[in-house]
Chain A
Amino acid sequence: MGNCYTFKIKNNFPELELLCAEINEIARESNFSEQLLFSLNVCLEEMLTNIIKYGYDDNRPHDIEIRLEIDNEIMILTIIDDGHAFNPLEADAPDMKSDLQHRQLGGIGIFLTCKMADKLSYERKDNKNFLKILLAPHVAAL
Chain B
Amino acid sequence: MKLTQLESTDRITNLLLSGSLDISGVKDVEMDFARLASGKRAVVVDFSGVTFIASLGMRMLLSAAKKLDSEGGRLILHSVPPLVETALETAGLTMVLPVVKDAPDAISLSQLQR
Q: Which chain A residues have a beta carbon within 8 Å of chain B's beta carbons?
A: 13, 16-17, 20, 34-35, 38, 41-42, 45-46, 49, 94-101, 103, 105, 108-109, 111-112, 115-116
Contact = CB atoms under 8 A, between A and B. Distances in A.
A105 B96 contact: no
Interface string B50-78: 00101110110010011001100000000
Contacts of A46: 54-55
Interface of B: 22-24, 52, 54-56, 58-59, 62, 65-66, 69-70, 83, 87, 90-92, 95-97
Chief secondary structure at chain A's binding surface: helix
26 contacts: A17-B24, A20-B23, A34-B83, A38-B83, A41-B22, A42-B54, A42-B87, A45-B54, A46-B54, A49-B23, A98-B96, A100-B65, A100-B69, A100-B96, A101-B69, A103-B66, A103-B92, A103-B96, A105-B55, A105-B62, A108-B55, A108-B58, A111-B91, A112-B55, A112-B87, A116-B90
Contacts of A98: 96
Contact of A96 (B54, B62, B87, B92): B92
A23 B91 CA distance: 25
Given A42-B54, A46-B55, A17 B23 contact: yes
Nearest to A98: B96
Given A35-B83, A103-B62, A105-B59, 20 more contacts: A13-B23, A17-B22, A17-B24, A20-B23, A38-B52, A46-B55, A49-B55, A96-B92, A97-B92, A100-B96, A101-B66, A103-B66, A105-B62, A105-B91, A108-B91, A108-B92, A111-B91, A112-B87, A112-B90, A116-B90
